[in-house]
Amino acid sequence: MSDASTIRHDVILPAETGDTLPAVRSIDFTDIEYALREGVEDFRAMPTHALFIGVLYAIAGLLLGRAALGYELVTLIFPLAAGFALIGPFAALGLYELSRRREMGRDTSWRHLFDFTHLPTFWSIVGLGVLLVVLFLIWIAVADGLYISYFGHRNVTSFADLLNKILGSPQGREFFVVGNAVGLLFAIAAFVLSVISFPLLLDRHVSLPTAMATSLKVVLENPVTMLGWALIVAGGLFLGALPALAGLAIVVPVLGHATWHLYRRALEPAPSERPEYVPKRKHKRYAAQFPMSLFAGTRELED
């Protein structure tokens, strides 16, 4: 029989505990250049997995836009498109994990896209994701309320009609400026809370408040660099969305991989490496053992 002490279970044990904030480094635009270069290299090395996530992201955006048109919510198309980026960091978790594994020379097959579900920080990751979704929904409600306050409940029949209403009058141009200013506040909040938090929760065993505080600290100690990164992300998503969101299939993976590398430049390395996830061994089951063979883990395999 195999020695029970050698069995490796399918949980990732904490590599780091406690709520002390990780040490933050000073970074500049050379670090952004490095992160983007490594992001492109990761995408080239793992195009299939990255494209899968990027295509899903683009399809989700198209479905949101189609739903808005189908329910005659043309006025929400722009808020939906802009706000969808608020939850982008959550969608990029699999990309962070693949970049982490490639950096360490480990297997980067698609089977590891969801290894984060076995982390001790999994529920903190979910909690941060829910927070971003709530922020996204609040933004949509606020954007809709702003439109109604300026134009009332009058229906808009087409996107061209909406553009004409917004850009064709002083009232519409004021609405455009105010709406974008409010949207910028939401974008800043989402960026500050999540830019470092998601990679940190994936990489180390820290609490959600610690992750968000670390993300805020990175932004406060590197304001110009992080502002530059935010503009690059916003510009990349905008350009990727222009050809019917098709460009997001490439832009999202590259930015996702690059975010991991920027995180690595922004923080001092962890004191110990995160253990690798190893699934439980699959045991053979025989008809003669029925019904006991239905229960996994009742017997260990013989060597």
- Tell which residue, 45, 204, 38, has the closest CA to residue 116: 204
291 domain-assigned: no
pLDDT tens, position by position, 131-185:
998 998 898 889 888 888 888 776 666 667 777 777 778 888 898 899 889 989 9
Looking at the domain assignment, is residue 200 inside a domain? Answer: yes
| 75 domain-assigned | yes
Per-residue pLDDT, averaged over 10-14, amounts to 41
The residue that leads in pLDDT, 65 or 108, is 108
Between 122 and 247, name the one with better pLDDT: 122
Q: Is the pLDDT of residue 210 over 70?
A: yes
Q: What total number of domains does the chain contain?
A: 1
The predicted pLDDT at position 299 comes to 44
- pLDDT for the residue numbered 303: 41
Check whether 91 has a pLDDT greater than 50.
yes
Each residue's pLDDT tens digit, 62-83: 555 555 445 456 667 677 767 7
Domain range for 79 is 26-273
C-beta separation of 15 from 274 below 8 A: yes
Q: Which residue has the higher pLDDT, 53 or 2?
A: 53
> Which pLDDT belongs to residue 273?
67
Categorize the per-residue pLDDT at 86 as very low, low, confident or very high, splitting at 50, 70 and 90: confident
Of residues 75, 244, 80, the one with CA closest to residue 176: 75
- Is there a domain that residue 290 lies in? no
pLDDT value at position 82?
Answer: 72
DSSP states of 161-182 as a string? HHHHHHHSSHHHHHHHHHHHHH
- For residue 288, pLDDT over 60 is answered with no
The vertex-88 CA angle with 145 and 141, nearest 5°, equals: 10
